[in-house]
Chain A
């Protein structure tokens, strides 16, 4: 394992120090428990939007802290959800009388720790709600499983819920918008290479040179199947089909298309894939009205991409377009 680190145990806190140094005008960092907090929090009369989860998915979530998006991010250890006391500390640091919305990805650890934190905060009289995002079409969703994973759709959810809160929507209304996004967003990912978790020191899985993992999770955990590597046209078509069949997305739908690098895939391949996805969607009569292309929810240095489609309506477009000022997403400022 070659990585630009000192001690694997210090990776998260040292990275947070760098984040704070680079973006001190927007956010501040607390080291124990680890938190990334918007500098002007708590903002009076505004619902606090808080998210978090394991580190290693940067810029998710710390890179999305700032006006127009998240009030706080709670980073856990690499690929490990944060603890309830850290989440509770984020609630305390950011929540005004307007209350707080916690955005939770559907992983057992995240759900358990955030639920416990919401209970603790509620017991202290703070109004805290939480929503669980589960947009990954790669995995089974039944009463006998933990349900679908929360993946790329999280980025879009955080932006839109953050914009709603910035516009002083009530807690009820921010929550309602968030639930609408969750109902209308679907994703799938593929991996070409594994990530290496710093404390583990070796790759999370192995793939042959001519193999790809179809339906990869954001921690490098497998999803649907291993398939032979194939040209981008076929791969992107396969990915889009998995998404569009699921909701389903249909002719006449307006969508946001989010093409994401899992960390190790260069821009040239990312734009190449995005171009194919745009063309295929146009052929299906699905209108791509908004786009996001880049590494926004990553899995350390894993090569691969994910595609996310969000079905849009006028309000979601307006909230997506609304100004945002964070390290990783910034427009309209």
Chain B
């Protein structure tokens, strides 16, 4: 089973709904370590993404992700705009003009997205950022894709599970990048809001692919 442009747009709409649903939770997580805007910013961005996708239907999965990227960059602001924007842009580039996302394409897109976030945010695993959710998600996706009978759904579920665990791991970390880094050890005990939103998005994609 593969995923075409419509399927990709559907997954993005599902992600947008999840962001809206968890807006307050993300604001609360961010309040603990930063400035209480992460949920608001992502919600603003994904609301704009949904209208952008409604007014023009891109023809390939890559084109869908490119629309997501440019919309997030121009609507979100903060650090989340350029970071998620870069992730989706690199993922779109990895997909190129293929008409459907297959397993190989999915893994390549996740890998490109992670590399983009690491390059833009100069963060590595252990810094308590989105990377702590995205990096294990990629690793799990790569493993899952090698299993017999693997499909988009099982790979995304593995990625989302790993992202959840990665997000949990940020609770015990001393943040070294982003606004939370200013708190140093005082931020220990709080999950990173970026890691949480990454886990939420991957879960939404996994649910949409069921």
Q: A residues near B, CB below 8 A?
A: 54, 76-85, 107-109, 112-113, 116, 138-140, 144-146, 149, 197, 199-200, 204-205, 217, 219-223
Residues of A contacting B36 in the complex (Cβ-Cβ under 8 angstroms): 79, 197, 200, 204
Q: Does B177 contact A (CB under 8 A)?
A: yes
Q: How far is the CA of A83 from the CA of B44 in the complex (A)?
A: 13
Given A78-B37, A112-B82, A219-B34: A200 in contact with B27 (beta carbons within 8 A) = yes
Residues of A contacting B78 in the complex (Cβ-Cβ under 8 angstroms): 54, 76, 80-81, 109, 113
Task: Check A112–B184 contact: CB distance below 8 A.
Answer: no
Task: Check A82–B31 contact: CB distance below 8 A.
Answer: no
Given A76-B77, A76-B78, A77-B44: A220 in contact with B35 (beta carbons within 8 A) = yes
Task: Check B81–A222 contact: CB distance below 8 A.
Answer: no
Q: How far is the CB of B108 from chain A (nearest CB, A)?
A: 24
Total count of chain B residues near the partner, CB < 8 A? 32
* Interface members, chain B 69-105 (any A CB < 8 Å): 73-83
Q: How far is the CA of A83 from the CA of B83 in the complex (A)?
A: 12
Q: Does B41 contact A (CB under 8 A)?
A: yes
* Interface members, chain B 118-167 (any A CB < 8 Å): 120-121
Task: Check B37–A80 contact: CB distance below 8 A.
Answer: yes
Task: Check B35–A219 contact: CB distance below 8 A.
Answer: yes
Q: How far is the CA of A108 from the CA of B36 in the complex (A)?
A: 15
Residues of A contacting B121 in the complex (Cβ-Cβ under 8 angstroms): 108, 112
Residue of A nearest to B178 (CB): A108
Task: Check B77–A221 contact: CB distance below 8 A.
Answer: no
Given A76-B78, A80-B37, A82-B77: A222 in contact with B177 (beta carbons within 8 A) = no
Residue of B nearest to A218 (CB): B35
Task: Check A199–B37 contact: CB distance below 8 A.
Answer: yes
Residue of A nearest to B76 (CB): A83
Q: Does B181 contact A (CB under 8 A)?
A: yes
Residues of B contacting A81 in the complex (Cβ-Cβ under 8 angstroms): 77-79
Residue of A nearest to B184 (CB): A140
Q: Does B168 contact A (CB under 8 A)?
A: no
Residues of A contacting B40 in the complex (Cβ-Cβ under 8 angstroms): 77, 80, 199-200
Question: Which of the residues B31, B82, B120, B176 comes within 8 Å of A204, measured between beta carbons?
Answer: B31
Q: How far is the CA of A112 from the CA of B177 in the complex (A)?
A: 13
Residues of B contacting A113 in the complex (Cβ-Cβ under 8 angstroms): 77-78, 81-82
Q: How far is the CA of A107 from the CA of B82 in the complex (A)?
A: 13
Residues of B contacting A84 in the complex (Cβ-Cβ under 8 angstroms): 73-74, 82
Q: Does B54 contact A (CB under 8 A)?
A: no
Task: Check A77–B182 contact: CB distance below 8 A.
Answer: no
Residue of A nearest to B183 (CB): A222
Q: How far is the CA of A153 from the CA of B186 in the complex (A)?
A: 25
Q: How far is the CB of B29 from chain A (nearest CB, A)?
A: 12
Q: How far is the CB of A14 from chain B (nearest CB, A)?
A: 17
Q: How far is the CB of A104 from chain B (nearest CB, A)?
A: 13
Residues of B contacting A220 in the complex (Cβ-Cβ under 8 angstroms): 35
Q: How far is the CB of B83 from chain A (nearest CB, A)?
A: 7
Question: Which of the residues A112, A116, A149 comes within 8 Å of B182, measured between beta carbons?
Answer: A149
Q: How far is the CB of B35 from chain A (nearest CB, A)?
A: 4
Q: How far is the CB of B70 from chain A (nearest CB, A)?
A: 9
Task: Check B179–A108 contact: CB distance below 8 A.
Answer: yes
* Interface members, chain B 172-199 (any A CB < 8 Å): 176-179, 181-184, 186
Residues of B contacting A79 in the complex (Cβ-Cβ under 8 angstroms): 35-37
Residues of A contacting B83 in the complex (Cβ-Cβ under 8 angstroms): 112
Task: Check A223–B182 contact: CB distance below 8 A.
Answer: yes
Residues of B contacting A80 in the complex (Cβ-Cβ under 8 angstroms): 35, 37, 40-41, 77-78
Given A109-B81, A116-B82: A221 in contact with B37 (beta carbons within 8 A) = no
Task: Check B34–A77 contact: CB distance below 8 A.
Answer: no
Task: Check B177–A108 contact: CB distance below 8 A.
Answer: yes
Given A83-B75, A83-B76: A145 in contact with B179 (beta carbons within 8 A) = no
Q: How far is the CA of A200 from the CA of B37 in the complex (A)?
A: 7
The 19 listed contacts between A and B (C-beta, < 8 Å) are A54-B37, A78-B37, A80-B37, A80-B77, A83-B81, A84-B74, A108-B179, A112-B121, A113-B78, A113-B82, A116-B73, A146-B176, A146-B179, A146-B181, A199-B40, A205-B31, A217-B182, A221-B33, A221-B183
